[in-house]
Amino acid sequence: MSGNIELLSATLAKAKSEDRAALVAYLPAGFPTVDGGIEAVKAVIAGGADVVEVGLPHSDPVLDGAVIQTADDIALRGGVKIADVLRTVREAHAATGAPVLVMTYWNPIDRYGVERFVTELAAAGGAGCILPDLPVQESALWREHADKHGLATVFVVAPSSKDERLATITAAGSGFVYAASLMGVTGTRESVGNEAQELVRRTRATTELPVCVGLGVSNAVQAKEVAGFADGVIVGSAFVKLLLDAPDLPAGLAAVKALAGELAEGVRRG
């Protein structure tokens, strides 16, 4: 089952060939339960997501906002383990055929064992990992094992990254580049959108890899705006919030599937 980086690359290339951005959805494993989380991943793919990132819940998710922190807390109190994260990847990928990555902080992998984690993720049909807090200069061991098993290593770049640093990060990464910015938190949405667009331009100058933007996108209008300059639009908190606010799981699943459909229309750039 290894080699799913090829599926990820083919999926992103297919979106590009259709003159649209890919829709990348994020959902944490184990939320609202392990089984419910697996159903939620299937629902966003059924709604129109091209790629899914499954979050490995962490007790100190420093880069995540309040919504995802709340979901992580629920998952951790429910006793979620790495085995549950891998099961989520395996069952979601097997049911849908879509590329499924894991997004995780480095500490849980380091404790679990790099070679063990990579081997099990590849066996589960995973496409790779997004590692927001692993410095590129400390990533050689991870990349060696990931490459051996055909897994993507997705690094995160930010508007604060200097051009030389961008080149170092993109040269080490594979699959796609995750361009992180925040829409509507600092300054106006227009100016932050411009900042994200500039980050994509600077990143593309260093790599042939697709550049996907995580920007606090929550609706089709914003998705269309980001799709105008990025290869992929990453949406997480908006899906998680629907599950948090839903009266029960079936209502939550229906809501995330519907949002995925709206966003999938948005990324088609009209």
Cite the active site residues. Answer: 53, 64
Displacement of CA 269 from its chain's centroid (Å): 21
Q: What are phi and psi of 32, to 5 degrees?
A: -75, -20
Q: Residue 117 and residue 144: Cα distance in Å, rounded? A: 13
Q: Give 126's contacts (C-beta < 8 A, 6+ positions apart).
A: 4, 86, 89, 93, 100, 101, 102, 151
The owner of tokens 């906002």 is: 65
Q: Residue 213 and residue 234: Cα distance in Å, rounded? A: 6
